[in-house]
Structures are given as C-alpha cells and as structure tokens.
Amino acid sequence: MSYQDIGKKVGLNEASVRRICNNLRQEDVFYQLNVPNFASLGHSVLIIQTIHISNGSFMQAKEIADNFRKEWDNCVDCHETFDWKIIVRSIWPNVETFKNKHVEFFKKNGTSWLTKENIDLVPLKEDGKFIRIKGFV
C-alpha cells in the first residue's frame, strides 16, 4: 500500500505515515519483504502443512525436515518447532501434483514418526494475492 492509502485508512496525512514508517524501519520494528508472485511462475496453490512428530521420534525432527527440504524442490520454507512439529510451506502447480508427491514422500520416508498432519490449501490468484485458506484432508 502507498503511504497515502495507509493514511486514508488510519486517518493521518501521507507525510505523517511516511515519517512513522521511516522511524519504525530505523528501529528495526519492521522491514520490507518482497514475496514472489507464485501464480505468475505457474503455481496455483500454496500448501501449509503442520506435521506433528510422535514423542518417541522427536530426535528425528531435523532429519525429517531436511528430507522435505531436499526432496521438494518447491519447498518455500520448512522448519521445526519446539513442540515437536514441523511446518512446511510449499508451492504447487495444482492440488493433484501435491497429493501425488505427498503419497510418494510418505511411502519413501514412512509414517511411524507421524502422529497427526494438518494441511491448509491457499489458492493463488494471478495478481499474486491469496484468496483464502481452506483446510482439507
């Protein structure tokens, strides 16, 4: 959004918004982040997986996360949490491609370490904006 657009939304003039934003950047409160337009790169969905690791397998979490990073070329982000979860964000041309790769991944790496998996689907529009998040199993 432009400074003018932000000002209209919050009831300030453009100069005030610009000054506040510059001060916040100097204090490292926030920074600009450029996100690629995945839709223009041929991807129609962003998948967010929350993978729950069994208590007995938490030592494998790093290895499992590494497997996602290595095996999924379209992995945007993959990290472990401190409560035995792995969060994987990946982009896909379509849901069917994701489903097929998902099955392959778990056939190859097993599921003995898995207690639960939540999958959120984020359809992407051509202008790069997210439409909505809808969970599916």
Domain spans, the chain? 1-32, 38-135
Round to whole Å and give the CA distance between 111 and 36.
32
Residue 73 has pLDDT above 50, yes or no: yes
pLDDT value at residue 54:
85
Tell me how far CA of residue 46 lies from CA of 91, 107, 122, 130, in angstroms: 4, 22, 5, 9
Four-way CATH pick for 38-135: 3.40.50.740, 3.30.70.920, 3.30.530.20, 3.40.47.10: 3.30.70.920
Nearest of 103, 137, 128 to residue 46 by alpha carbon: 128
Instruction: Please compute the mean of the pLDDT values over residues 26-47 and round it to a whole number.
Output: 81
What mean pLDDT value characterizes the chain? 85
Q: Is residue 54 within 8 Å of residue 114, measured between CB atoms?
A: yes
Cα dihedral 85, 89, 95, 96, rounded to 10, equals -70
pLDDT value at residue 126:
66
**How does pLDDT run across 104-133, given as a tens digit for each residue?**
999 998 888 889 999 998 888 766 555 444
pLDDT value at residue 82:
83
